[in-house]
Amino acid sequence: MKRRTFLKHAVAMPGIGATFRANGLASEAGGISPVAAPAQNGNSSGAGYSPARIANEYSLFLHGERQALADSPRAVSITGGSVHASAGKQQKTLTAGEEIDGWQLLAILPWLNGTATAVFEKHVTHQGVIIYVTEMGEIARIPKRIGDLSRIRPRPITAPPEARLTRPRQYIPGPD
């Protein structure tokens, strides 16, 4: 086979396989579906290595955390150095540094765009949010991508324990 013909065939082959998979013809043509391939290769039993997606836990929410960040406090009234706020079934008068339902009052801005504004912050496991609340409602929501710095750790991997990333020893050429 000539080199040019070989290259044409080599480039066309992956496209043909993708067309079969897209049309669902791989199983009819005797091919193995990508989902069933690791099981047939023996990789699902732990005997071989099967790379997988590593979930970025810092962008994920645990159970109930998304809802906890969505339920922001409401400012009933903002006067001087205090905020009368309600969150869930709680109502409380807060000063800077105090909390209601896990929301900490960071600051009271007496004049932001012509109205008094309270700034609240809440952390969950890996994320957080800062909100600006007026008596009329929430005006800004700023997500924080790292919620609690003490919980940062290296990302887990799915490689088998015997897999090591090592450099080969330096090759020192000898006499021929």
Q: Domain residue spans in the chain?
A: 3-41, 65-150
Sheet holding 128-134, edge to edge: 99-100, 103-112, 115-123, 128-134, 137-144
Which of the residues in the chain have pLDDT under 70?
Answer: 1, 13-52, 147-148
Cα(118)–Cα(100) distance, integer angstroms: 13
Tokens for 82, please give them: 């205090």
Helix (H) and strand (E) counts in the chain:
3, 8
The string of DSSP letters for 16-28 reads HHHHHHHHT-TTT
Sequence-distant (6+) residues with CB within 8 A of 113 are: none
Judge contact between 43 and 57, C-beta under 8 A: no
**86-105 pLDDT, tens per residue?**
998 899 999 999 999 999 99
Q: Which helix (H) or strand (E) is 142 found in, with range?
A: strand 137-144
Flag whether the pTM goes above 0.85. no
pLDDT of residue 34: 47
Per the listing, tokens 């480039």 go with: 11
